[in-house]
Amino acid sequence: MTDVQSWNRESLPIVQLSLDSENPRTADPRLTGYSPLERMLLVDGNACMELLDDIVATGRLNPIENIICIKESGNTIVLEGNRRLTCLQAWANPSIIPDHLPELAEYRRQVTLIKKSSSQVPISEVEVTIAPDRESAQRWISLKHESGNAGRGVRRWTPMMQEYVEKRNNPEKCPATLAYVEFLYETFPNHEELSASLDKALKKYTNLQRVLKKKLAHRYLGVLYEHGKINPQYPYATLLPVALKLISDQAKDHAPNGDAWSRRLNKNEDVEDYFNEFKELWPESIGEKLQDTNPDNHSNHNMPPKPEPVTEKETDNPKYPTNSSLNLHQEEIDFGHPIPQRKVSKPSQSHVFRGLDLTAFPDRIHDLVRQTSKLRINTYPEVIATVMRTIVDLSTGYYLEQRNLSAKGNLNKRIRTALLNADPSSSTNPPAEKCTANQKLFTELNRGLGNSLQLSVHSAERRSSSSDILHDGDLFASYLETLNTKLAGGHERETTQ
């Protein structure tokens, strides 16, 4: 990799700069056919408006934030600074924002008002750093957007965006989750229910990752993941029912038992139990396996044609096939690949908050959770107990603020307020064996759990045992994930500044 100090710096007019069509922030299969400017506004328009307000207020860009470009096919492509370039180009000429969609028309109106109400002259020229190629620039750009430690205005890449970066760097290493999502969009582009469920499920992308990273799940879904691609093992029509079931479930906030999906589908045995609930939807149950599913055979003569574009309104067929319509029996089901036997594994007793990804919360909370999840309970019990209290307090306060709820009272009361808003069913009192984690938390809050949590910070005498930390960590992990799901469901929010 070339020395960064040797990269050229130039002062260029903004009209000579182009947005990156491969920007991972806007590389979304739902936005195929839109221009880079349209994609940026549709994905991150509110953040762009906030950034434009900041720029117009001072009349300049943040001087410590470099715009990184490459020269490609005679164009100067911005790799780092696409939001800033979007703001500058729109400020200079609001009419470049098309108005064929209501969202875009609204952003055009906002930019026009900002321009008219400001005495600042739009910035027409910026200083940029020219990287020799994408690969050289990517390491520094990834560090900035993945660490969460950069300055104001930097927005963390979501897990889906990070997977797009991996795919762009090496298509053969495209992660399984992204490959499967793209496969569904390409194979069933006009299936309204599937598309609507995908749109919702993508807001909880880490939940999809937990399932689709497991090879066991691929076998139930009737596909083979290899070399960054999804290859169907059965005719396309037989893949739809199980895919629709999985994606529709992941679009919901909770599993049927009330648990968060991250807890319901965390291990291989969980995934096996889940898919065994609807064996009649397995591709193996519906159709014959393809004769040639070797991904190394690049000819398509053995592949079935993709289904004709069809919407649910055009057919009277049931959404899912049933045992009666297929005349199949469970004992006749035999996978082409043997399903591995369940492995008995003990739950982790060494960490809290493992796999908890609070993408709807500010970066500081996100980083506190991530860093705490790396600490072993037996080694750092007091540190974990203290930071856990801080995480719960900060997250609760942020949630109450975002939902315009009262933040008055002690921590115990504020947690109850947030929990009841995010999960009203938490106040019900079912039999112990049917209680969800949130219902257990609500019961313990009535016994003063929040006040006990406060002592981790306010009492020099109190000591926390590993078992207490594990118990509280499980309850508050479910609580935090519930708050995150509620915030993400109200509006797609990738991060906060």
Q: Do 134 and 253 fall within a single domain?
A: no
Residue 88 sits in the same domain as residue 138: yes
Residue 350 lies in a domain: no
- Give me the pLDDT at residue 496, please: 33
H helices of 213-260, in order, are 215-221, 236-250
Tokens 């598309």 found at: 195
Same domain, 291 and 440: no
Question: Over the chain, what is the mean pLDDT?
Answer: 79
In the β-sheet with 68-72, what is the strand arrangement from edge to edge? Answer: 8-13, 125-130, 68-72, 75-80, 17-19
In this structure, what are the phi and psi dihedrals at residue 92, rounded to the nearest 5 degrees? -65, -35
pLDDT per residue over 429-442, tens digit each? 888 778 888 888 88
Same domain, residue pair 233 and 101 = no
Write down the pLDDT at residue 454.
Answer: 64
Kindly report, residue by residue over 440-459, the tens digit of the pLDDT: 888 888 777 766 676 666 66
pLDDT of residue 459: 67
pLDDT of residue 451: 63
**Helix (H), strand (E) at residue 402:** helix 381-402
Q: C-alpha angle 303/309/313, rounded to 5°?
A: 135
Q: In this structure, is the dihedral angle defined by the CA atoms of residues 408, 413, 418 and 421, taken in order, positive or negative?
A: negative
Do residues 144 and 8 share a domain? Answer: yes
Contact 245, 252 (CB under 8 A): no
Euclidean distance between CA atoms 258 and 425, whole angstroms: 9
Indicate if 140 and 260 belong to the same structural domain.
Answer: no
What pTM value is reported for the model? 0.44
pLDDT digits (tens, 9 = 90+) for 250-285: 999 888 888 888 778 878 888 999 999 999 999 988
Q: Is residue 357 part of a domain?
A: no
How far is 26 from 111, CA to CA, in rounded Å? 20
Answer with the residue of higher pLDDT: 309 or 368. 368
Same domain, 94 and 131: yes
Residue 80 CA to residue 385 CA, distance in Å, equals 39
Pairing of strands 75-80, 68-72: antiparallel
First to last CA, the chain: 31
CA atoms within 13 A on the CB side of 266: 13
Same domain, residue pair 135 and 180: no
323 and 266, same domain (yes or no): yes
The tokens of 261 are what?
Answer: 């999906």
Residue where a domain terminates, one of 101, 122, 154: 154
Pair of tokens at residue 74: 């005679």
The tokens describing 216, both together, are 């066991």
Domain hosting 452: range is 363-490
Q: How confident is the model at residue 310 (pLDDT cuts 50, 70, 90)?
A: very low
Hunting for tokens 């159709």 — which residue is that?
287
Domain contains 381? yes
Residue 164 in domain? no
| pLDDT value, residue 111 | 92
| 144 plus 40 within the same structural domain | yes
| pLDDT reported for residue 212 | 93
Could you tell me the CA-to-CA distances from 291 to 183, 229, 232, 280, 336 in Å, in that order?
A: 20, 19, 11, 22, 11
Instruction: Judge whether 358 lies within some domain.
Output: no
CA distance linking residue 417 with residue 430, whole number of Å: 20
Res 183 pLDDT > 50: yes
pLDDT band for position 54 (cuts 50, 70, 90): confident
Query: What is the pLDDT averaged over residues 161-181?
Result: 86
In a domain, residue 496? The reply is: no
Question: How many folded domains does the chain comprise?
Answer: 3
Q: What angle do CA 405, 409, 414 make, to 5 degrees?
A: 50
Nearest-5° Cα angle at 306, 302 to 309: 165
More confident residue, 170 or 299: 170
Are residues 36 and 125 both part of a single domain?
A: yes
Query: Do 283 and 417 lie in a common domain?
Result: no
* Higher local confidence (pLDDT), 337 or 396: 396
**57 or 175: which leads in pLDDT:** 175
